Amino acid sequence: MNLDRLEENIGYRFKDRQLLIEALTHASYANEHRDMHLKDNERLEFLGDTIVNAALTIRLFRLLKDASEGSLTKLRAGLVSKDTLARIARTINLGDFMMVGRGEELDNGRDKSSLLSCTYEALIGALFLDSSFDKAMSIVERHFDIAIGDLERVEVSDYKSTLLEYCQKRYKGLPDIVLIDEYGPEHDKVFVIEVRLDGRAMGRGEGRNKKMAAQMACREALLALEKDE
């Protein structure tokens, strides 16, 4: 495994490579290789989830000086979603380096959003332990900028209304906003919504309710349409 290449993709070189290896080790792999006495990445994932949330909270707090607590909470929840973290993981080719068990390997586990997002959080947890919060925050910010666009341009707004108005003016028609999946227990469901324009998927978002998921999907669609111009 060429960890040098992964570190180049991340933009950080680990002082303690064992932390990096732990971050890449899924429980399924550790269970199948007990003789290697490997630690799985679940504890690092727990830590990394907090670091990612804290980094985005600080960034949004500084950027959006007039936004309410409710608006900031909703925007952060949309940004720190499984879908977004998996997209970041794909930009650094994290799936190529994940250590997964045979079952996950056969089930295309290296490209599962759930595994990718969890491994990314573990990676950030390991990076934090290997350096500092400030360093981890700067890496998280850079990854988000690369994957979803410059966070300096993030605004708390009604993305759905903006998208509908844009499509009506430019394409003389409206996109389809479709619920494509929902998962999790009844008391803590996550909804997945996709925006389609002329049958083409333009954006996808997740949220604790359908409205939040639709807003994030519409935001992603607007970014995609902007790139097409």
**115 & 147 share domain:** yes
**190 & 148 share domain:** no
Tens digits of residue pLDDT in 95-109: 999 999 999 888 888
The residues near 115 (Cβ < 8 Å, ≥ 6 apart) are 26, 95, 98, 100, 104, 109
Residue 188, domain CATH: 3.30.160.20
Place 156 in a pLDDT band, splitting at 50, 70 and 90. Answer: very low
Answer with the residue of higher pLDDT: 73 or 13: 13
**144 & 97 share domain:** yes
Catalytic annotation present for 176: no
Number of domains in the chain: 2
Residue 112, domain CATH: 1.10.1520.10
Where a domain ends, among 103, 122, 153?
153
Catalytic annotation present for 49: yes
Element (H, E) at 151: none
**143 & 180 share domain:** no
Q: Which of 22, 40, 83, 121 is catalytic?
A: 121
The domain of 67 spans 3-153
Q: Which of 49, 83, 130, 194 is catalytic?
A: 49
- Across the chain, what does the average pLDDT equal? 88
- Output the CA–CA distances (angstroms, integers) from residue 13 to 24, 43, 126, in the order listed: 15, 21, 12
**126 & 28 share domain:** yes
Place 72 in a pLDDT band, splitting at 50, 70 and 90. Answer: confident
